[in-house]
Amino acid sequence: MSHGEVKTRSNMELVCAKDDRLPTKELWINFTAERCPGLAGKPKLYFIQACRGSKVDKGKRITRPAIGIPVQTDSIQEDYVIPLHADQLVMWASYPGFPAFTSERKGIQGSVFIHFLAENLKNCASTSPRPSLFSILLKVTREVAVLYESRPESSEYNKNKQVPYIHSTLLREIYF
C-alpha cells in the first residue's frame, strides 16, 4: 500500500517508497525463475494498492448481462520448461491510468480494494469446497466495481467508479 504515479513522457508507473519512487516492475523482477530459482514453479502473488493515474471513470450503465465464451487449453506434460516470468499474479487496485480510492464510509476504513480483498479472503477461508483464488479475485473485482462509487469533496472525483486490474502468468489454479 502506497501512493503511485505515472511518468507522462515514458508512461512508466511508479510506487512511492519512504525516500524515493520505484518503478513498479522492480517489485517483482527479482523473483523470476532466473534470479530466484528457489521460487521457480511456485506462485508469487502481489496485491498493489496505489494510484495508477488521474483519469476519471464515470462508468456506463448496462441493461443486459454479457455472454461468456468457453475457453479450451492444452494439457501440460509432467516434465516441462516454464517461462522466466511464469507463476506471477499482480492485482492492482485500479485500471492503468486511474486512481485507487480510499473511503471512510460503510465500514470501509481506507483502501476500498484492500477492504473487499480482505473481506473475501476471510469469508472464503471457511467455505467448503474452497473456491479458487481466481474466483475470489473475480468477486473482489465485481464488488469494487459495482458496490463502490467515490464521493470526495472534489467534483472531478465525485461519483467515479474503480475496477481492479489483474495481470497473471499463473500456470495453475490456486486454492487456500
Query: Quick one: average pLDDT of 53-61?
Result: 75
Percentage of residues in the chain having pLDDT higher than 90: 28
**What's residue 25's pLDDT?**
86
Choose, from 3, 36, 85, 167, the residue flagged as catalytic: 3
Order across the sheet with 4-7: list the strands.
Answer: 4-7, 12-16, 21-23
Q: What is the 3-state secondary structure (H, E, C) of the chain?
A: CCCEEEECCCCEEEEECCCCEEEHHHHCHHHCCCCCHHHCCCCEEEEECCCCCCCCCCCCCCCCCCCCCCCCCCCCCCCCCCCCCCCEEEEECCCCCCCCCEECCCCCCEEHHHHHHHHHHHHHCCCCCCCEHHHHHHHHHHHHHHHCCCCCCCHHHCCCCCCCEEEECCCCCCEC
**What's residue 8's pLDDT?**
74
State the chain's mean pLDDT as an integer: 82
Separation between Cα atoms, residue 59 and residue 51, nearest integer Å: 18
Residue 77 has pLDDT above 70, yes or no: no
Residue 71 has pLDDT above 60, yes or no: no
Choose, from 51, 85, 115, 124, the residue flagged as catalytic: 51
Percentage of residues in the chain having pLDDT higher than 70: 85
Lowest mean pLDDT among 60-69, 71-80, 136-145: 71-80
Domains and CATH numbers, the chain: 43-59+85-168 (3.40.50.1460)
Residue 65 has pLDDT above 60, yes or no: no
Q: Using one digit for the tens of pLDDT, what is the confidence trace for 11-30?
A: 788 888 888 888 888 888 89
**What's residue 60's pLDDT?**
67
pLDDT band at 129 (very low <50, low <70, confident <90, very high): confident
Query: Quick one: average pLDDT of 106-123?
Result: 88
**What's residue 150's pLDDT?**
79
**What's residue 126's pLDDT?**
80
Residue 157 has pLDDT above 50, yes or no: yes
Active site residue 115: no
124 vs 70, higher pLDDT: 124
Active site residue 51: yes
For β-strands 4-7 and 165-168, DSSP reports them as: unpaired
